[in-house]
Amino acid sequence: MAIKVTERKFYRYLYLRLIRQRGTASSLALSVGIGIFCGFVIPLFQMLLAVFLAWVMKTNKIVAVACTWVSNPLTYAIIFPINVYVGGFFINSSFDANELKQFSLATLFTDFQKVLYFFISDGMLMFMIGGAIVGGVFAALSYCVVYFIIRKHREEKKERFFKRRKALKEKTGISG
């Protein structure tokens, strides 16, 4: 029986898979940051970009690729307008906030010509600039959180090991 995404077990499983990966806490946290950044920046080929950046920075490629799924069909309804809105602050575009509000999820699937025109004009640039900024912020936050979680888990694991070792030595009477 498969674990459902809505169950707490699913998130516990992902947490355990992350903290049990090989590598330093910094390397794993950087892998998560790379994946999240790539997930926000480009809508296509984000996994290839994540693998390339993870390879260049010598981090965990599998973790980086898995974290690109922060942008998926369910979250794009939130990520797309935020990226375009933030990117719109940095370039002078013919599109404004009112035109962005007219884009709805239904528009994305029904009026393909309007969406295509948006991306051919300034939309893609707005999306990528906004994605770089928003993705950079989320990548930095996720790096800090994941680094803290992995360090805490490994320190607790080390303490448990030494407590068991000390208890075993006391039980068996072995000194040293």
pLDDT tens digits, 130-149: 999 999 999 999 999 999 99
The answer to the question of residue 20 being in a domain is: no
The answer to the question of residue 10 being in a domain is: no
How big, in percent rounded to 5, are the helix, strand and coil portions of the chain? 75, 0, 25
How many domains are contained in the chain? Answer: 1
The answer to the question of residue 109 being in a domain is: yes
Q: Give yes or no for a contact between 67 and 35, defined as CB atoms under 8 angstroms apart.
A: yes
The answer to the question of residue 2 being in a domain is: no
Can you count the helices (H) and strands (E) in the chain? 9, 0
Backbone angles phi, psi at 94, to 5 degrees: -80, -15
Residue bearing tokens 């990548």 = 139
Q: Give yes or no for a contact between 125 and 83, defined as CB atoms under 8 angstroms apart.
A: no
Residue 87: name the closest of 135, 45, 48, 47 by CA.
135
Instruction: State the number of CA atoms in the 13 A half-sphere of 19 facing the CB.
Output: 18
The answer to the question of residue 110 being in a domain is: yes
What pTM was estimated for this model as a whole? 0.79
How high is the pLDDT of residue 97? 59
Residue 48: partners with Cβ closer than 8 Å, 6 or more residues away? none
The answer to the question of residue 47 being in a domain is: yes
* Segments of the chain with pLDDT less than 70: 1, 5, 94-112, 115, 118, 175-176
The answer to the question of residue 4 being in a domain is: no
Determine the structural domain holding residue 142 and report its residue range. 25-172
